[in-house]
Amino acid sequence: MENNKISVGLDIGTTKIVAMIGRKNEYGKAEILGIGKSKSLGVHRGVVNNITQTIQSIQQAVQEAEAEAGLKIEDVTVGIAGQHIRSLQHSDYITRTNSDVVIDEDDIDRLINQVHKLVMLPGEEIIHVLPQEYKIDGQAEIKEPIGMYGGRLEANFHVVVGQVSSIRNIGRCVKSSGLELEGITLEPLASANAVLSQEEKEAGVALIDIGGGTTDLAVFKDGIIRHTAVIPFGGNVVTEDIKEGCSIIEKQAELLKIKFGSAWPGENKDNEIVSIPGLRGREPKEITLKNLSKIIHARVVEIIEQVYVEIKNYGHEEQKKKLIAGIVLTGGGAQLKHLKQLVEYITGMDTRIGFPNEHLAGDSDEEVASPLFATAVGLVMDGLKRQERKQIEHEAENFEEVMESTSEDSNNSEDVVHSPKKERKSFLDKLTERVKDFLDNAE
């Protein structure tokens, strides 16, 4: 099997690191060939805080995936999240010198590059610049300006900002693990690609990805991403609260949460009790499930309320911006019992649990289609898309070479032929290149 047809997603999370190998099958769906996961030790709230441990965890996950797929991994598409990510809205415009020529790719590049000159806080860098809609000479709501006439081109942008050092550290970990960085993607975007359908993105939907260390939010409307946020709480703080509240060790707290935990205290009877073995000869502890779910409930409500504030910040309460498809919950934290009901109760929005099987091949493992792996599946899909883009560019370059050699023979063939369109490099590709250059020069 050709190696260039596979793509590898690397999800560096707070609780686990997942390496996932996938390829496109003949129906254009992603088929997962191998999956490896390891406990993540060097990551706190989505940010690397111990390089050596993170490298070990990455290598362990990668080896596991390689063994299952029987392939060697070279390039990976890696996700970035973490509490340092924030987003803002910004509008900008350019005045074109010659309004008799139609607007082309270069004009849009010029406009996007201008947004990159925004002054950020020290240490911050722009990660994504996502155009929302364009205006030409004051005419609003233009989705695709290319090919139109106009003197003043302006656009609203969704700008995602993060810390340079955090991004470089991730690059460093990947490189030191003996892997090449093929691409960098914002994790909420990756998860969204894996679990949301196009109809939901059109109608308006908020994706909430509850991870171990952070909860990511991505809001879509009219098929375009409108808002992103990272809330620095996730499943781990729930476990932490259980540990403190019941005076037990973390491992037990985590098990309790997964096996008996519920986000809705009313569900449990007063007499439901679970007994936990004491440490080294101490008496076992008895914990009522009602208390357990009260502890979980309190913290989960806090997380959801913060997410809801962000959804309101986007403007969900305005008629035009209403999110008709409601909320989709994904990530490991989405597996908590009765969470869907609680979210519906707090936000009053329709809610469903998102499984990343939207774009997976029909015969995929049950395991892969768990909300836990939403980000990893999204990263694999992203890598596959990137390869297609590279191929198109490659073909376009070859095509141009052929055209040049033939056009020397005949001068009039120029009018007839249109070369395949090269896709514009997304900013993340540029960011990846910059991180790569930085790492190469930093050695």
**CATH number of the domain to which 267 belongs:** 3.30.420.40
- Please indicate, yes or no, if residue 311 is contained in any of the structural domains: no
Q: Does residue 293 contact residue 267 with C-beta atoms inside 8 Å? A: yes
H or E element at residue 95: strand 86-95
- Please indicate, yes or no, if residue 277 is contained in any of the structural domains: yes
- Give the span between the Cα atoms of 323 and 161, in whole angstroms: 24
Closest CA to 59 of 48, 73, 46: 73
Give the number of other CB atoms < 10 A from CB of residue 194: 31
- Please indicate, yes or no, if residue 260 is contained in any of the structural domains: yes
Task: Supply the pTM of this predicted model.
Answer: 0.87
Closest CA to 80 of 54, 49, 46: 46
φ and ψ at 104, to 5 degrees?
A: -130, -175
Bridge partners (DSSP) listed for residue 327: 206, 351
H or E element at residue 80: strand 75-80
Q: How many domains does the chain have?
A: 1
pLDDT at 407: 66
Token pair in block for residue 114: 């201008």
Domain span at residue 259? 235-299
- Please indicate, yes or no, if residue 421 is contained in any of the structural domains: no
Token pair in block for residue 343: 């979210």
- Give the span between the Cα atoms of 262 and 251, in whole angstroms: 18
- Please indicate, yes or no, if residue 195 is contained in any of the structural domains: no
pLDDT at 414: 47
What is the b/e burial string over 78-106, where b = at least 16 CB atoms within 10 angstroms of the residue's CB? bbbbbbbbebeeeebebebeeeeeebeee
- Give the span between the Cα atoms of 378 and 30, in whole angstroms: 10
What is the bridge-based pairing of β-strands 16-24 and 6-12?
antiparallel
pLDDT at 279: 82
Bridge partners (DSSP) listed for residue 152: 95
- Please indicate, yes or no, if residue 287 is contained in any of the structural domains: yes
- Amino acid of residue 81: A
222: left (phi over 0), alpha (psi -120 to 50) or beta: left
pLDDT tens digits, the chain, 443 residues: what are they? 455 589 999 999 999 999 999 999 888 888 999 999 999 989 988 889 999 999 999 999 999 999 999 999 999 999 988 788 888 889 999 999 988 999 999 999 999 989 988 888 888 988 888 888 899 999 988 989 999 999 999 999 999 898 989 889 999 999 999 999 988 888 988 999 999 999 999 999 999 999 999 999 999 999 988 998 889 999 999 999 999 999 999 999 999 999 999 999 887 677 889 998 888 888 889 999 999 999 999 999 999 999 999 999 888 888 889 999 999 999 999 999 999 999 999 999 999 999 998 888 877 788 888 999 999 999 999 999 988 888 888 888 888 888 877 765 555 544 544 545 555 666 677 778 878 887 788 76
DSSP code string of 251-280 = HHHHHHHHHH-BS-GGGS-TT-EEEEPPST
- Give the span between the Cα atoms of 240 and 235, in whole angstroms: 9
- Give the span between the Cα atoms of 337 and 256, in whole angstroms: 12
Token pair in block for residue 156: 């609203």
- Please indicate, yes or no, if residue 355 is contained in any of the structural domains: no
- Please indicate, yes or no, if residue 288 is contained in any of the structural domains: yes
DSSP code string of 343-399 = HHHHH-S-EEE--TTSSB-TT--TGGGSGGGHHHHHHHHHHHHHHHHHHHHHHHHHH
Q: For the chain, what is the radius of gyration of the CA atoms?
A: 24
- Give the span between the Cα atoms of 61 and 20, in whole angstroms: 9
pLDDT at 433: 81
pLDDT at 421: 55
Q: Does residue 308 contact residue 215 with C-beta atoms inside 8 Å? A: no
All residues at 6 or more sequence positions from 243 whose CB lies less than 8 Å from its CB, including other chains = 249, 250, 252, 253
Longest dimension (CA), the chain: 93
DSSP code, position 122 = T
Dihedral (CA of 425, 426, 432, 434) sign: positive
Token pair in block for residue 144: 């695709």
Closest CA to 212 of 258, 273, 265, 154: 258
DSSP code, position 149 = -
pLDDT at 420: 52
* Cα distances (angstroms) measured from residue 267 to each of 18, 299, 322: 34, 17, 32
Q: Does residue 377 contact residue 356 with C-beta atoms inside 8 Å? A: yes
Token pair in block for residue 384: 């596959």
Q: Residue 227: helix, strand or coil by DSSP?
A: strand
